Structure 1
Amino acid sequence: MDYSKLENQACFPIYALSRVLTAHYKPILDEVELTYPQYLVMMVLWEHKQLSVKEIGEKLLLDSGTLTPLLKKLEAKKLLLRERSKADERIVNISLTEGGMKSKIKASHIPEAFKCSLGLTTEEITSLRKNINTILDKTLKNK
């Protein structure tokens, strides 16, 4: 197999799929005035209520340099609060505001709307997620 051809690359279809899936999210997320990365941060906070910047980064595989501008924008939208830890000023804790908690209700339709926009069954999405997570887990362990 000629691996110098684009069609034989494993990474390209993953990259292309990521871009296509994010594009499917855009009109749905526009309704709730969030970008896809902001939505990811909010999903983590809806689940955990409060986390440090480091913990959010670990869950989303993002560094603080990428997260800080996202968090500032979400804070400007009054969806979360950024506060330095009293025990250790190097730690910045992120917590949901009342508006951030209410935004979960506004965004509750997003997963189903996304699934419908793709035209995939729940089983197909579950299978895709399982396969991707298997590859992701293996590559992160070999890092």
Structure 2
Amino acid sequence: MASRNTPRNTALSEQALRLDHQLCFALYSASLAMTKLYKPLLDELGLTYPQYLALLVLWEQDGVTVSDLGEKLYLDSGTLTPLLKRMEAAGLVSRLRDAADERRVLIRLTADGRQLKARALSIPGCVLQAAQCDVAEAMTLTRQIQTLRNRLTA
């Protein structure tokens, strides 16, 4: 049975195509705004946003494999390897072959990489202040976005 293209259905369909009704655009533009907010904060640390994300993982658990890091960051090895090489050249991490399995490469923080954590401690507070929300609201938004991401990648 074919659907009827009534004026009401056409109007509803056209409303669905409004830019301000697009979840994808809300996420995209929020991501751009968030990246713009982070840039000067990370410039002070000499980091790019992807480097900061990699350090967040390593500050939680040092010595992860490249594949584990890629899985946590949703990055493939083609993107992650040059990022890690730049971080190694900057003295933030070292890449070592796993003695138990030489196919695996472990990423470890250097002393400089560990020390950078203390300088990064103010970043989450700056983000909350700029977003004008408290920790509870930020965590609720984070969980909602993570749920959406998990549904989309399932």
TM-score between the two structures when normalised by the length of structure 2 = 0.84
Q: Secondary structure at the match of 1:82?
A: strand
Q: Shift in Å at residue 120 of structure 1?
A: 2.3
Give a deviation string over 1:42-87, Cα, whole Å, max 9, x none.
0000000110100000111110111111111111111110112233
Structure 2 segments unaligned to the other structure (5+ residues): 1-11
Percent identity (aligned): 44
Aligned position for 1:18: 31
TM-score between the two structures when normalised by the length of structure 1 = 0.90
Q: Secondary structure at the match of 1:62?
A: coil
Aligned position for 1:55: 68
* Residue of 114, 121, 127 corresponding to 1:101: 114
- Larger of the two Rg values belongs to structure: 2
RMSD: 1.4
- The 4+ residue runs of structure 1 with deviation greater than 6 A are none
Number of equivalences = 141
Structure 1 segments unaligned to the other structure (5+ residues): none
Q: Shift in Å at residue 119 of structure 1?
A: 2.3
Say yes or no: does 1:42 pair with 2:81.
no
Say yes or no: does 1:112 pair with 2:125.
yes
Q: Measure the CA separation in 1 of the matches of 2:21 and 2:90.
A: 44
Aligned position for 1:130: 143
Say yes or no: does 1:80 pair with 2:93.
yes
